Amino acid sequence: MSLNNLDTLYRQVIMDHYKNPRNRGNIDGDSVTIDMNNPTCGDRIQLQMQVENGIVKDAKFEGEGCSISMSSASMMTQAIKGKKVEDAEKMSRAFSEMMLGNEIDTEEFDLEDIEALQGVSKFPARIKCATLAWKAMEKGVREE
């Protein structure tokens, strides 16, 4: 697949998550709630996670912001559900490395749609948009 076609596909994946977010809403019952924002551009997120026995049982978000921020939150909640907290944290570190333009071991993590965000690394001002939900998740598992 040509680089231009791949770029178009990635844009389509990002817009699909933006227009049809997965795991948008609130968790009923006990959960950790983390509110974060990016004052530079106005993105804000409220992430809720239900963690039991070291496993992320559920993750949902509410918020507003750019397509990158909201798509990343959608992708992240999909990726961490059912994962051990340690694996979710490793995935977050790998995502941060990807945002810095570094190569990551895709054998260790099945990034699925998240890989569509790798182009954000070319736009330093947008990296905070992409990492906002991930930083909220890291904060949430530390508070758990």
Locate tokens 């921020």: which residue? 69
Could you tell me the pTM of the whole model? 0.93
Provide the residue ranges of all domains of the chain, joining segments of one domain with +: 3-143
Structure tokens given for 116: 């569509």
DSSP state of 24: B
What mean pLDDT comes out for the span 55-72? Answer: 97
Residue 60 pLDDT greater than 60, yes or no: yes
Encode pLDDT of 118-133 as tens digits. 989 999 999 999 999 9
Question: Which amino acid, one-letter code, is at 112?
Answer: E
Residues, the chain = 144
What is the per-residue pLDDT for 136?
97
29-44: pLDDT as tens digits: 899 999 999 988 899 9
Architecture of domain 3-143: Alpha-Beta Complex (3.90)
3-state SS of 53-96 is CCEEEEEEEEEECCHHHHHHHHHHHHHHCCCEHHHHHHHHHHHH
CA-CA-CA-CA torsion for 79, 9, 98, 106, nearest 10 degrees? 60
Three-class SS state of 48: strand
Helix, strand, coil abundance in the chain, percent, nearest 5: 55, 20, 25
